[in-house]
Structure 1
Amino acid sequence: MSTQSPRSAQVAQPAASPAQKDAHKDAKRRGRWTLLIIALICGAPIAISYFTYYVIKPKGGTTSYGALIEPQRPIPDALMVTGDDGHEVPLASLKGRWLMISVNGGDCDEACATKLYFMRQVRATQGAERERVVTVWLRTDDASVPAKVKGAYADTRMLRADPVAVAAWLPATQTTKDTDHIYLVDPNGNLMMRFPANADPSKIKQDVTKLLKWSRIG
């Protein structure tokens, strides 16, 4: 009589019952739902931030005062600026904080001074959040800045830049020039908003306040 060793013996596996198959399917289904829920939980803050960041409708569907720039325009790598120290650097080197940008010649007429004043005041009214904002004046010529302007806006970065390169990056309207507007650039270096000519500073403040509140970048 021949016998089979334990190694060679084949033990037949019982077929799964319908109940076991159903339980297995339920377990797989629960696993998929669990993964989906985890993905939604992780992705929700990003989606909410994106929505409020670009659409800015956190209250009652109100829209932004500034015109959203779509598609966004990153700071061109070739856009160089020069400070009073004579060193030329890429404007993109200022990425990391919110930039409020004004464009004018160095002599800074009344309209120029008004924009600089509005930017300074909007930044100041952000309280503890103001350090997230940098005011920038792109000077499009070699004219000397009046001493009273330089003294009044010591916290504003006054940088010389090529006017052609600046105009190519900053969009105006059919009836305005880049020198008529205040622009807002996000901490990632994307131009995202243009405020109207002769803007209302209180409404600029509302937009900036919302952006700082609803976006944690910068």
Structure 2
Amino acid sequence: MNAATPHGGSRKKRSTLLLVGMLFLGPLLVASLVYYGSAGWRPTGNVASGMLFDPVKELPASELRGVDGSRLGYEALDGLWILVYLSQGSCEIECRKSLYDTRQVRVLLGQKDQRVRRLLVAGAPLPDPAYLSEYHPDLLVTTAASAGSDFVQAFARDRQGLGDEEILRLDRVYIVDPLGNLVMAYESGFDANGLLKDLQRLLRLSSIG
């Protein structure tokens, strides 16, 4: 009887280690399966307002900088959903409408707004800093020049072969997931309610970010 005791203890230890491992890895595995393994998490063509990146496209690494040249730390975006708006020029009527709409979409998320940040990738001439500070204090702003051509080109989607400035002039809004993947694109003049519904669906079905 005594000889069986060490083996029983070993089995108990192994079971304990396995349980601990499942507690740590289980949520990650489930999140991965929900996010990548299930067709249900992603909006399909007949329910989505935006255009899907199929498959999703990973954004290249880039040292983003603010309009003042200061480094825009990735920690400000790490693990969050991002509404990225690419705009060429000084941000006039259409640009300001898109910024207003994305701001309102984030506000209407309610308590889930902390899972989402907004990023403006601006071409030249740069938007008026006073306007951005007054009306969009939560907006992170970087320049297309500092982001680099590879970063801008990643947003081309169905418009391959365009130059950087042409991509900026598309005036599109994009959803980027917490892993840095481009998920959806929205044309200039997009339906803000449609964007809101798509984003709410993604936040509801995704366990990350």
Same fold (TM over 0.5): yes
Distance 2:127 2:99 in 1: 16
Specify the alignment match of 1:157 in structure 2: 140
Q: TM-score by structure 2 length?
A: 0.70
Specify the code of the residue in structure 2 equivalent to 1:189: G
Structure with the greater alpha carbon radius of gyration: 1
Specify the alignment match of 2:123 in structure 1: 140
Query: Percent identity, aligned pairs only?
Result: 25
Specify the alignment match of 1:13 in structure 2: none
Structure 2 residue aligned with 1:64, among 45, 48, 53? 48
8 A contact 1:80–1:161 mirrored in 2: no
8 A contact 2:155–2:167 mirrored in 1: no
Are 1:76 and 2:60 an aligned pair?
yes
Specify the alignment match of 2:7 in structure 1: none
Per-residue deviation at 1:160? 1.7
Per-residue deviation at 1:53? 6.5
Specify the code of the residue in structure 1 equivalent to 2:43: I
Per-residue deviation at 1:92? 8.4
Structure 1 residue aligned with 2:103, among 109, 120, 136? 120
User: Runs of 5+ in structure 1 lacking a partner?
Assistant: 1-40
Runs of 4+ in structure 1 off by over 6 angstroms are 41-45
Structure 1 residue aligned with 2:194, among 191, 203, 216? 203
Distance 1:75 1:180 in 2: 18
Distance 1:144 1:177 in 2: 17
Structure-2 change in CA distance of 1:105 and 1:45 (3 Å): closer
Number of corresponding residues: 175
Which deviates more, 179-188 or 162-171? 162-171
SS of 1:71's partner is strand
8 A contact 1:97–1:186 mirrored in 2: yes
RMSD over equivalenced CA pairs, Å: 3.1
Distance 1:194 1:116 in 2: 15
| More RCO (CA 8 Å, sep 6+) | 2
Q: TM-score by structure 1 length?
A: 0.68
Structure-2 change in CA distance of 1:200 and 1:185 (3 Å): same
Specify the alignment match of 2:156 in structure 1: 171
